[in-house]
Amino acid sequence: MSVEQLLLKTPQQLKEYCQTLSKEDKLALYKQLVDEAKDKDYKELKKLNKLVNAIEETTDKKLYSHSEEATVKSFFKKATKRIFLILHPTYSNNLKELNELDQLLPQIYEKLKPGLTDNIRHCMEKELRFGNFLHDNIEVFRLLEESRHGSIEKKKEATIKLISLFAMQPELNYAGDILLLGIISDNIKVFGKEAENLKSDLDTLINLVEKSADKLINMESDIEETEEELAEKREAVVEQLLAFRLDQFIKMH
């Protein structure tokens, strides 16, 4: 099948087609795409990129040995544990395990990096950056935990700090945004009716991010277009959150 015929297919159809190819056939097709990409304009390159993504997505597992694949899975499992420990800082008195994960995860990534596809490497790097960002602000989650057994004022203070934290995170991060927005949505209820509209907008954005993440995983959507759309909606919600934070700060002082 020619490249021109393949590009008429949807991302999901391309993925299914590439799954039927041998590793050698995928490599040959990949080389053909490299040649096709020469002297192409941006619009044409975006079309070719759909096919490149389909090849990479269906080749990831075959590129790794069993031990490497297990290590990749272990990385994401440990990264999830790291975030859990950050969100629950009183879970461990000395946070020894968290400090160990801080050192271990970058080491695992550097060891695997040479053999990773662009997609997996991008995901790992984002996971590390997001974890670092949360750990740098662990006091916010400590305050949030303490506020659960405190006064209404303490809960409001913790929620405002959480809003500030999300606004400080400029990078779109699917799992990270869902996590932080979900925590804010749960805690913003402490402000009562004045936060109802904002909570509704937060829940709408969470739902949109979840659906977009599913589409990208299933190759049903263009990555750049999806992220541009999300970035606009995310920025609008951030502006609402910052306005709400300022309004509450004035009331609290």
Rounded Cα distance, 204 and 188, in Å: 15
Going by pLDDT thresholds of 50, 70 and 90, the confidence category of residue 105 is very high
Question: The whole model's pTM is what?
Answer: 0.65
Residues whose CB is less than 8 angstroms from the CB of residue 46 and which lie 6 or more positions away in sequence, other chains included: 222, 224
* pLDDT value, residue 225: 72
Quickly count helices (H) and strands (E) in the chain: 12, 0
* pLDDT value, residue 230: 82
Taking the domains of the chain in order of start, what are their residue ranges?
Answer: 3-63, 64-136, 138-253
Rounded Cα distance, 8 and 52, in Å: 14
Residue with tokens 């916010």: 140
CA distances from 160 to 119, 141, 183, 191, 250 (A): 35, 12, 12, 10, 12
Q: Which residue has the higher pLDDT, 238 or 38?
A: 238
* pLDDT value, residue 162: 92
Cα atoms found within 13 Å of the Cα of residue 217, Cβ hemisphere only: 9
* pLDDT value, residue 115: 83
* pLDDT value, residue 54: 66
Going by pLDDT thresholds of 50, 70 and 90, the confidence category of residue 164 is very high
* pLDDT value, residue 210: 83
Instruction: Give the residue-averaged pLDDT of 197-220.
Output: 79
Q: Which residue has the higher pLDDT, 165 or 54?
A: 165
Going by pLDDT thresholds of 50, 70 and 90, the confidence category of residue 184 is very high
* pLDDT value, residue 219: 52
Q: Quick check: 228 pLDDT over 50? A: yes
* pLDDT value, residue 46: 54
Rounded Cα distance, 156 and 184, in Å: 11
Q: Quick check: 221 pLDDT over 90? A: no
- Burial degree of 146 (CB within 10 A; 0-12, 13-18, 19+): middle
Q: What is the pLDDT of residues 42-96, one digit of tens each?
A: 445 555 566 566 665 665 544 455 566 778 888 988 998 898 889 888 765 567 8
Contact call for residues 101 and 85 (beta carbons, < 8 A)? yes
Lowest model confidence (mean pLDDT) among 102-111, 140-149, 225-234: 225-234
Rounded Cα distance, 138 and 222, in Å: 35
Lookup: tokens for 61: 């597992």
Q: What is the pLDDT of residues 122-154, one digit of tens each?
A: 888 988 998 999 999 999 999 998 898 888 999
* pLDDT value, residue 185: 93
Instruction: Give the residue-averaged pLDDT of 235-246.
Output: 89
